[in-house]
Each structure stands twice: as structure tokens, then as C-alpha cells.
Structure 1
Amino acid sequence: MAKRTAEHRALLDQIQQIAEGIGATFAPFCEAVVHDLLDPEHAIISIHNNLSGREVGAPATELGLARISDPEYPQLIANYANHFADGRQAKSTSIGIKDAHGKYIAALCMNVDLTLFRGLQNVLGQFSSVEGAPLQESLDPTGADEIRERIDQFAARLATTPHALKSEDRRALIRELKESGCMEIRRAMAIVARHLGVSRATVYSDAK
């Protein structure tokens, strides 16, 4: 085991705090593991939200050994395909941590269990599928998309969002919509109010 300096101990302590936060925030889907690359035979010093079944004291992975042997090895490897010992598919990200001299001393690894997400993806895909009949129908009044598009363009010119428009901005928007003829579209007031996140009464007031 390589000798640890005060800097190494401080870095390892901070990385463990970060790993604990990641594990707590993204439980139960994401495992966060801290590897001490100064002690490769007992590299794992903490596992938060343990999904892989590994234990503290387990040796470094091949990726960890590669970093130990090559300081030029990529520091960030994100979203690579992986799997747990029981065959569950995972998506992993590994971040190498260097000291002030550019030597790898640790790694923070995150492993996301894709099992539930794949299941949800299949369910949502089935739920959102529609029959292949030629009939097409929209519950929106004709021209509703044009109103929303004009609102989005107006907000973008002000570097903001429709919901964040101030009252004077909304009044200017309504004037533009009137001049373009958009306010003649059926249910225009309701469409504008919904897209701006305000009441119809507010839109009527802005339109005066």
C-alpha cells in the first residue's frame, strides 16, 4: 500500500461525502463506490446504495488498475455499458481523482441499474402506441400550435420562458397576437392562458 499524505486523506474523505450524497439522492437506482487506488488489493473503501453485492475491502477493478499504471488514462469515462454479477444490465460512470502531482489516488464510480428503467420504457412504449389506422385527429382547435409557437418565439426574444413573462411583456405579446390574427382563433384566450400559466381573467385583463 502506498503511503498516504494529508492531501490524499482529505481527498478521500471528500470523495466519500460526495458518494454518500449521490447514493442517497439516486437510491434505489444508483450505486456509488469509492476506490482507494493507493491500496489496489483492498481498493473499495465505501459503497453507498449497494446494488452490486460487493464489500468494502474488495480489490480494484481492471479500470482502476489501468489508472494506477497510466497517469494519462482518461479521467472521466461516462455512461459505458456494464452489468452486475447476477446479469442485470447497468450504465456506469467512472471518475478518476488525481492529487496535486497528477497521480491517480482514487476513483468515484456510479452504477445505475437499468432493469426498472427498461421495464418502464417497455410499458410506456406500449401505452403510448396508437393503431396504424389512417384517421388522424387533434383535440386542439385549428391554429393552436401557431399561437403557442408565437408565444415561445416572443419569450425567446426576451431570453425567458412563457411562464416567466411579466405583465408588461404579456401585454406586448397580446398586441402581437392580435396584429397577427391569432386572437381570432377559436378558444385563443384559453390557449394563451394555459401556455403562459396564468388565468384567462389575467389574459383578458392584459388584452384591454
Structure 2
Amino acid sequence: MFGKVDLNQVVNFTITDKAVLESAGPIVEALGDLLGPTCEVVLHSLEDLDHSIVKIANGHVTGRGEGAPITDLALHMLHQMRAKGAHFSQSYFTRSKNGELMKCTSIAIRNTDGKIVALMCININLDAPFSSIIKNFTPGPAGEIRSDEGMLLESPEEQMEKNIRDTIYEVNKDPSIPSKQKNRQIVYRLYDTGTFNFKESVAMVAQRLSVSRHTIYLYIRERRHNAVAELDDMGSMNNDNI
């Protein structure tokens, strides 16, 4: 059911409301790309219900585009979420104007005051050929499969060890860094990536570099001092431009 709702209701959004709405736009595009052409993702602004769609991905699923009105079903879900204080609706089944079976859900987008200012609706066409659905989740002949070891790590300690190992390798293979400066640069980079926020990180780095903990702390203090100095310089430049 995707009928027109002629409410002629216009609500004046604040600057913050509009910023919240704008920030949700890329999520629509990302979900549309991730879930594929058989899944429509719609962002409804509640500022103007008669022209509520402000962003849509895979609009061919229902034949809608930006500027189209909100549907009576979406309004029903909005009413339920407001009544229950819910953040999203339970998934439900409906049919498009072409009679295709859809599985849908609606997500409330709230402003800083907790007021719902938009709805993000996800509509999956269950009548689409299975081959077109599975194709989106299968790498093509030239599809790149990227490795992310971080997804396979089980503990913060493993993540810390990986950061240390990778940083040591990158610095040691860089011919532009003098040999006497490599340990210092390793510590600087580990500091910048937050590795020293992990417990026992100083001891582990000292062991891997065959230096004392005192040396590691010295390099950390140097890097922290340099970072503060850089911020001060940036502040001075900004003041000069005011």
C-alpha cells in the first residue's frame, strides 16, 4: 500500500532538525548499496508530509522518487512508535502498488530533544528473482575481497599486538627514516593511533624494540609535547585569520 496522503502538513524545522536529517542521507545511500537493487531505502522528512521523501535509494522497487508523499502505512507506523516510545517498528509485510510482496521496517530519526523528525523505511522486494538477490551478496568475477584482520581478532591484546607488529614493519621498511630514528618514529606512530591506551602496551613495545620502558615514556612525552605545540600553532593561525 503506497497511496498518496494529502495532509498539507508543514512543520518548520530548526537548524538542528535539518542537520539531523542531512546526516541521515548517507546512511540511505550506504544501505541501498549494501542491500542491493531489490531493497528500497527511503528517508521521509516530517517537515512536509505531502513531499516527505528527501532521499531514496533503489526507488525503482516501488517506483517512487524524491518529493513523493509519505504513505498512510508509514504514518501508521509513526503513530505506533510515538505511542510506544519505540525507536523502530517491528518488521511487517505489505504489497507494492504492483502487487509485489514486500518485507518492511521503519526506523525513527530523532532530534536532540528526542522528537521524531524523520523516518527511514527499508522495503525488501520478496518477489524479486532469487538470483538477483543472491547476486548482490556474491563477489563478481573481478570482485575484490578485502581482508580485515581486525574482524578476526578476539581481544584488545591481539589488536594491540597487531598494531605494534604492523607499525614496526612499516617504519623499518621506510628508507627515508634514519636507523637511529626508527624506534622514536615507531613510538610516535603508536602514540598517534592510541596504542598506548592499552594496558601493558609500554612494556610490550619496550620488549619488541629492545629498549627500556624509560625510553618509551621519553618518546611518548616528546610526541605529546609536539602535538600540543602543533595545536598551539594552529590556534595562532586561526586567530590571525579572524
TM, length-normalised to structure 1: 0.52
Kept in 1: contact 2:81–2:89 (CA 8 A): no
Structure 2: tracts of 5 or more residues without a match:
1-9, 133-153, 155-242
- Percent identity of the aligned residues? 31
Kept in 2: contact 1:23–1:31 (CA 8 A): yes
Give RMSD over aligned pairs.
2.6
Shift of 1:68: 6.3
Aligned to 1:109: 121
Aligned to 1:184: none
Aligned to 2:30: 21
Letter in 2 for 1:91: K
2:94 paired residue among 79, 82, 93 = 82
Letter in 1 for 2:25: Q
- In the alignment of these two chains, the number of paired residues is 122
Q: Whole-Å Cα distance in 1 between the matches of residues 94 and 33 of structure 2?
A: 21
- Structure-2 change in CA distance of 1:69 and 1:4 (3 Å): farther
Aligned to 2:109: 97
State yes or no: 1:2 paired with 2:6.
no
Query: Equivalent residue of 2:91, what SS?
Result: strand
Q: Whole-Å Cα distance in 2 between the matches of residues 75 and 63 of structure 1?
A: 17
Q: Whole-Å Cα distance in 1 between the matches of residues 97 and 24 of structure 2?
A: 25
- Structure-2 change in CA distance of 1:93 and 1:65 (3 Å): closer
Letter in 2 for 1:104: I
Aligned to 2:82: 71
Shift of 1:71: 3.1
Aligned to 1:48: 57
Kept in 1: contact 2:52–2:67 (CA 8 A): yes
Letter in 1 for 2:82: P
Shift of 1:29: 1.7
Kept in 2: contact 1:37–1:68 (CA 8 A): no
Kept in 1: contact 2:74–2:106 (CA 8 A): no
Shift of 1:10: 1.4
Kept in 1: contact 2:89–2:106 (CA 8 A): yes
Aligned to 2:212: none
Shift of 1:54: 1.3
Query: Equivalent residue of 1:77, what SS?
Result: coil
Letter in 1 for 2:62: S
TM, length-normalised to structure 2: 0.45
Aligned to 1:35: 44
Structure 1: tracts of 5 or more residues without a match:
121-158, 160-208
Shift of 1:24: 1.1
